[in-house]
Amino acid sequence: MNKRKIIASFILSAVCASTVNFASTKTVSAATARLGGQDRYETSTKISQDGWTTSEYVVLASGQGYADALCAAPIASRHSAPILLTPSNNLDQNVKSEITRLKATHVIEIGGTGSISTNVENELKSMGLSVQRLGGADRYETSVKVAKALGTPNKVVVTSGQGYADALSIAPIAAKQGMEILLTSDMGIPDTVKDYIQDNQSSIVDTYVVGGTAVIPDSTISGLSNPIRISGDDRYETNVNVLDHFKASIDMNNVYIARGGGSAGNEFADALSASALAAKNNSSVVLTDDDINTNANTQKFIEDNVDSSANIVAVGGQASVADSVLEHMELTVIVKSANNRLQAIADSTSDSNEKDAVEQIIDNLNNSISNKLDNADEVLSDFQSNMEKTQQILQKLSDAERTNLQNKINADTTLMQYLDQLNQIAKEYFPTDTE
């Protein structure tokens, strides 16, 4: 049997003793999509087009450096505006066209002239736009300028200004909940930020400190109002812990997947643009890298919290979020959903042999997504091994037990839809038959 047929038949043989022909069904699994352009600037316009028909305000941030841009999401949310990116010295033409499409009349620039030059500002003004700059002498003062523009604080975020991942993990949540994002350094809270906090001490109830002690030492946060630290061993675990902390208030029906790091230093751009859209939809931005398998915490969060009806949206092109990462997330959600239905069957039976068989099948389905999707030999080997184990499990059942189990599975139309979707995805692993 060729590779494609082996893999395509595995899902069916994993739960049925004989061949079952599924009719085409309406997809009930997680839907995947991509918002990406030729570069970070066009990607920001694609995100804007997905979320906004018109917008009076546009927030403009640098696509070349994250320093001033990290605090942009809350002010964008305040004005129900998208975040568009631009090079420092000239207004990107895709962005210019998007501002026109939105029929915007006001632009808020984040950062000083080192982030967005006067050339860009003058071009915006020549378009008849009202331009407001929120920028300070450095990234820390810029975060204070943005915070002051948001009004009296109630809850604030303090996070590192020396890296972008932690700030972007909290950005959509801070934006949705109206929390200012204040930047600090590993040397201590800068005076401008400290003064702002002290001036507003009476109104600040909670301070969310995002990041570990390596970037924000305990000694620097002792004077903050009710400091609540959220951190992890790396940026991905911190991202998951942030989402887990606030998940009761997050709508997981839309999940935006963005690159969380890289060697170029500009990988912040897509997650920054997505933060405004995620806030608008009360959703989350999940950070990932080239291989979700290396981020066990991310995969578990997706498995535990993303339902089968969710839209999983990759932000950026293939270089930012590879298809294999998106496919693995989709498979994780579908397998979890199928296994939940199978577990219900196991829980409803009094036959110990049948219960044991279903629970072993669940384990086998979990194993079916344990390998990298882009490693054909490993995927094939894993599927073959689990198919053999499943057949052994089913052979232990009597004919009556096997028939009874198959009838229960066939009667669960939702489960059958999941299995059909899994089978279709399995076929797509190998677009051509290979002997």
Number of folded domains that form the chain: 2
Shared domain check, 399 and 288:
no
- Is the pLDDT at 140 greater than 90? The verdict is yes
- Is the pLDDT at 139 greater than 60? The verdict is yes
Mean pLDDT of 266-287: 94
CA 363 to chain CA centroid, nearest Å = 26
CB atoms within 10 A of CB 412: 16
Shared domain check, 87 and 60:
yes
Shared domain check, 217 and 180:
yes
Shared domain check, 185 and 85:
yes
- Is the pLDDT at 364 greater than 80? The verdict is no
Q: Which range has the worst mean pLDDT, 58-72, 76-90, 310-324, 325-339? A: 325-339
Shared domain check, 350 and 298:
no
Shared domain check, 131 and 185:
yes
Distances (CA, A) of 329 to 84, 85, 274, 307, 395: 27, 28, 18, 11, 32
- Is the pLDDT at 406 greater than 90? The verdict is no
Residue 318: inside a domain, yes or no? Answer: no
CB burial of residue 351 (10 Å; 0-12, 13-18, 19+): middle
Shared domain check, 335 and 252:
no
- Is the pLDDT at 385 greater than 90? The verdict is no
Mean pLDDT of 405-428: 79
Shared domain check, 189 and 85:
yes
Its domain, for residue 232, covers: 39-307
Shared domain check, 168 and 297:
yes
Mean pLDDT of 331-350: 88
Three-state SS for 70? Answer: helix
Instruction: Please tell me the predicted confidence (pLDDT) of residue 268.
Output: 93
- Is the pLDDT at 351 greater than 80? The verdict is yes
Mean pLDDT of 279-307: 86
Q: Number of C-alpha atoms within 13 angstroms, CB side, residue 187?
A: 4
Smallest CA-to-CA distance from 425 within 299, 343, 324 is with 324
Residues 2 and 8: their CA atoms lie apart, in Å, by: 10
> What does the DSSP 8-state code read for residue 201?
T
Task: Please indicate whether residue 384 or residue 225 has the higher confidence score (pLDDT).
Answer: 225
Q: Over the stretch 190-211, which tens digit does the pLDDT of each residue have?
A: 999 999 999 999 999 999 999 9
Instruction: Please tell me the predicted confidence (pLDDT) of residue 356.
Output: 86
